[in-house]
Structure 1
Amino acid sequence: MAIHRLEVSNNSYTADNFVTLTAYSSHLKGRGDISIYQEATSNKNVPIIVLLHGVYGSHWVWSQLGGVHKVYQQLRSSGLNEFVLVMPSDGAHAEGSGYLPLKNADYEAWIVDDVISAVIQTQPMCSSSSNIYITGLSMGGYGALCLGAKHPTIFSGISAHSSITELDDFNHFVDEHTLKPLKKTTDKYKGDVFKTLIANKKTLPPLRFDCGKDDVLFSANTALAKKLVDENVPHTFDIFAGTHCWEYWHEHVAKTMIFFAQLESKTHTQLK
């Protein structure tokens, strides 16, 4: 266990169904924050969706800029099965960590080890038997694609929105102070999404991603999709109208939830 200490919010003072955690992590060599949205339930082993944020943001942006819980509530009212929404910070390196292992801190291990452990430790409806899915937007999409591919025994499905696909894509958003350490990552794939997906092709969880036609990352995403087709890597790539903005992600995160719900249905069918 890499978590040395956990602080858990008091539900008497938080917004309905929200929990905030602060964990002191040996992987980060410091503190990291996690927002959780979970509706009251007596069920056990409820599946988890990990939502990774983009540059500039932190654990709160998926809910307070993206309204992800509102999307979830609407889908639940239409019959979507239960999930616990887990929204961690990226570890707070400069303008964005890329969720990469760096020399000063392991931002990948923070997500795949500490965040998941903290959720299972504190949320009674979740357990080591809960299926875990990963998604994200922009830098978070990049993290979801890489982490989901590298850790198929942890993640049961991958979805990504408007994703950065390689380190050079970060130039659209961040300064050299942020990017220089990322280029020195200890990741053996050097932070390249395609190389990561290809290297883990045989164990890749079900994968989908999307991008808006007017997004600055549209050409990078279409190029990634073409290379995956050429290499016969199973995936779904959806193209929608829109730009690199919260309106786009608020609308299309529903596609992610529905995709993960479909995977959950297949899991339960296989277990019967």
Structure 2
Amino acid sequence: MSKFRTVEISNPAFEQQHLRFLTVKTASLKGRGDICIFVPPGITDLSDLPVCILLHGVYGSAWSWAFCAGIHLRAKEMMERKEIKPMLIAMPSDGLWGDGSAYLPHHQLDFEKWIATDVPEVLIESFPQVSEKSPFFIAGLSMGGFGALRIGAKYNERFKAMAGHSSITMLEQMKLFVEEDLQGYTQNDPTSENVLDTMLKYKDRLPPFRFDCGNTDLLIADNRLLHQQLQENNIPHLYEEFEGGHEWPYWEKHVIRTLQFFDAQMV
């Protein structure tokens, strides 16, 4: 029996480029949430299929990673060349609150639970190749990087590894992007407003993680500071910098490193 009142999934007969769309009604959102899913060819007989959850940034939605970065095309090429193992790539919306939900609970809606619990559960229900034994990974860009690093750290029993690109590292940085009053995002537990504080809270249980940032990105100083603070607190991680700014060409290029990183965790 489904944990959700309704789940609508697109007909594979009409799919383009192996992208499937799923809409699920969830109590976390008090409404419906969308997920765009890359379903690689040739997985029919597979079991315990790995799942990579990719979170978008402000202003975007479930379509962003596929139609701004072509992640499904790059992933398919990598799988065909056997550079990475087959994996489902699930790209959920953030809940579509304001300019961005920050993947936090607020305004009587739980955007964190939507990602950490509902998305994995509906994928397990909807795809026979995905199970509770499937390794789940989580990554994101900008606001999605904030969500991925924080949620991955907090729900470490669910996620095998995590990653962020050009990540917001503290909630206060959301004011660079959104028009909504940041007081509306305030958490009962201030730890949830800061990636470092969240990682310190779960320091002994953190999954492997990487993050990167462009050297002309408006968040570069914040990412460098997080890297320094993680080093000072002896938290193992991989941090890299590359040419580029807060832009899709950067994320399109470097998300490949995250897929490779996740694949390496399955050895």
Count of matched residue pairs: 263
- Whether 2:146 is the aligned partner of 1:142: answer yes
Question: How many angstroms apart in 1 are the aligned matches of 2:128 and 2:88?
Answer: 11
Provide closer, same or farther for how the CA distance between residues 97 and 181 of structure 1 changes in structure 2, counting only shifts above 3 A. Answer: same
TM-score w.r.t. structure 1 length?
Answer: 0.94
Q: Which residue of structure 2 lines up, in the alignment, with residue 10 of structure 1?
A: 11
- Whether 2:180 is the aligned partner of 1:180: answer no
2:61 to 58, 64, 68: 58
TM-score w.r.t. structure 2 length?
Answer: 0.95
AA partner of residue 74 (structure 1): E
Runs of 4+ in 1 over 6 A off after TM superposition: none
- Percent identity reads 38
2:38 touches 2:72 (CA, 8 Å); kept in 1?
yes
Note the aligned Cα RMSD (angstroms).
Answer: 1.2
Deviations 1:21-50 (A, max 9, x none): 111110111110001111231111110000
AA partner of residue 22 (structure 1): T
AA partner of residue 175 (structure 1): E
AA partner of residue 192 (structure 1): N
Give the CA deviation at 1:2.
5.4
2:36 touches 2:62 (CA, 8 Å); kept in 1?
yes
1:2 touches 1:27 (CA, 8 Å); kept in 2?
no
2:49 to 26, 32, 46: 46
1:164 to 164, 168, 189: 168
SS in 2 for 1:85: strand
- Whether 2:79 is the aligned partner of 1:95: answer no
Give the CA deviation at 1:180.
3.1
Q: Which residue of structure 2 lines up, in the alignment, with residue 105 of structure 1?
A: 109
Question: How many angstroms apart in 2 are the aligned matches of 1:104 and 1:9?
Answer: 29
Give the CA deviation at 1:229.
0.2
Q: Which residue of structure 1 lines up, in the alignment, with residue 212 of structure 2?
A: 210
Deviations 1:111-160 (A, max 9, x none): 11111111111112111110000000000000000000000100000111
Give the CA deviation at 1:185.
2.6
1:102 touches 1:186 (CA, 8 Å); kept in 2?
no
Question: How many angstroms apart in 2 are the aligned matches of 1:176 and 1:261?
Answer: 37
- Whether 2:83 is the aligned partner of 1:82: answer no
Deviations 1:170-193 (A, max 9, x none): 12111134x3311x2344514111
Question: How many angstroms apart in 2 are the aligned matches of 1:73 and 1:9?
Answer: 20
Provide closer, same or farther for how the CA distance between residues 187 and 119 of structure 1 changes in structure 2, counting only shifts above 3 A. Answer: farther
Q: Which residue of structure 2 lines up, in the alignment, with residue 27 of structure 1?
A: 28
* Structure 2 gap ranges (5+): none
AA partner of residue 125 (structure 2): Q
Moved more, 98-107 or 212-221: 98-107
Give the CA deviation at 1:3.
2.4
- Whether 2:75 is the aligned partner of 1:72: answer yes
1:47 touches 1:83 (CA, 8 Å); kept in 2?
yes
Moved more, 133-142 or 16-25: 16-25
